[in-house]
Structures are given as C-alpha cells and as structure tokens.
Amino acid sequence: MWRRLLSSNLKSLISHSAPLSSTTPRSASAAARFATAATASHSSTLLSRHFSTQSDDGKAVKKTVQDVMPIATGHEAEEIQADLEGRDILEIDHPEGPFGTKETPAVVKSYYDRRIVGCPGGEGEDEHDVVWFWLEKGKPHECPVCSQYFVVS
C-alpha cells in the first residue's frame, strides 16, 4: 500500500516538476530531481494528511485522518467500539471473587466449553506459583496446591 501511495505521489511530483527537469541536464539523478520537487509546497501532504473544519467561532480546526476515520481493524477495532459503548470486552479475562470452595466454586467465564485457567492461590501466605490446568464446563476442578475449586460458566 505504501509503495502505491508513494509511487502515485512521486508521479504527481515529477509531473509538477517537469519545467524544473527541462532546465536541468538529462544526466541529473532522480534523487536530485526528487529533492528539488520535494521542496514544493504541494509535497507537504506526502506523509501527513490533515482535514480542516469550521468550528462555531469560525476558526479552522485541524484534524488528523485518525480523528475522522479510525484505522483500527480486527480485535483492536472491537475493543475501541466496546470502549466507546462503555463496556469492557476483556472483563472475561479478569475473574474476581472469593476463594473458591467445593460448595461455592470460583466462577470463570468462557465463550467455549473448555478454558485454560491459572490458579495463583489465595492471598498472603496462601499464595503460590501459578498452576495451569484445563477447566471444562460441567466439571469442577480443584487446584492441587491450594484446594481452590473452579467452574466454567
């Protein structure tokens, strides 16, 4: 994409600098011609694009392309959209709650029937190195180190 953008801008710069190149000898390098053409005022938009809008008081306000049209795609775009709507799509990755017991296990949210879970133990003296295990829906799992119970919802 950058090649296409730069080549089209270079072609327009060369066409605008045609009078300059006619006065220079044919043996001048392309870099020298580009350097003289790059000093032209129209080439300042080669790498930065700005939009100007009128505000209520009549002053022009400069905005970048990202202000007008976000360029995020994929998961990043989903995160930005969710943030604008006031919800956190990553909340599923931060389970909180009391220490899980057999009667009231710690609930881990998942979009799927299985999930890898890491148990860091309890707080203070009950804390241990993270133990990783597969947690399946409908099957409570007990951490082998701290005896905390987990279930998937």
CA–CA gap between residue 18 and residue 12 (Å, rounded): 10
112 in the same domain as 79 = no
pLDDT of residue 91: 72
Same domain, 85 and 108: no
Q: Is 24 within the bounds of a domain?
A: no
What is the amino acid identity at position 90?
L
**What integer pLDDT is reported at residue 133 of this predicted model?**
96
Q: Is 143 annotated in some ligand binding site?
A: yes
In the prediction, which pLDDT does 21 show?
A: 45
Q: Pick from 123, 111, 117, 127: which is nearest to 95 by CA?
A: 117
Q: Please indicate if the annotation marks 128 as binding a ligand.
A: yes
Does the annotation place 119 within a ligand binding site?
yes
- Residue-number span of the structural domain to which 87 is assigned: 48-93
Q: Has residue 142 been placed in a domain?
A: yes
56 in any annotated domain: yes
pLDDT, residue 139, reads 94
Asked if residue 129 belongs to a domain, the reply is: yes
Has residue 127 been placed in a domain?
yes
Return the pLDDT at 147.
92
The answer to the question of whether 75 is labelled as a binding residue is no
* Domain match, 106 and 136 both: yes
Domain check: are 63 and 79 in the same one?
yes
* Residue 118 and residue 142 in one domain: yes
Structural domains counted in the chain: 2
Does any domain span residue 71? yes
- Cα gap 151→93, rounded to integer Å: 14
Residue 17 lies in a domain: no
**CATH code assigned at 140:** 2.60.11.10
Compute mean pLDDT per 10 residues along the chain, 153 residues long, and list them.
58 57 49 50 51 61 66 82 82 77 91 91 88 95 93 90
Supply the pTM of this predicted model. Answer: 0.44
Per the CB < 8 A criterion, the answer to whether 82 and 63 are in contact is no
- Beta-strand ranges (E) seen in 10-148 are 50-54, 60-64, 106-108, 114-121, 127-136, 141-142
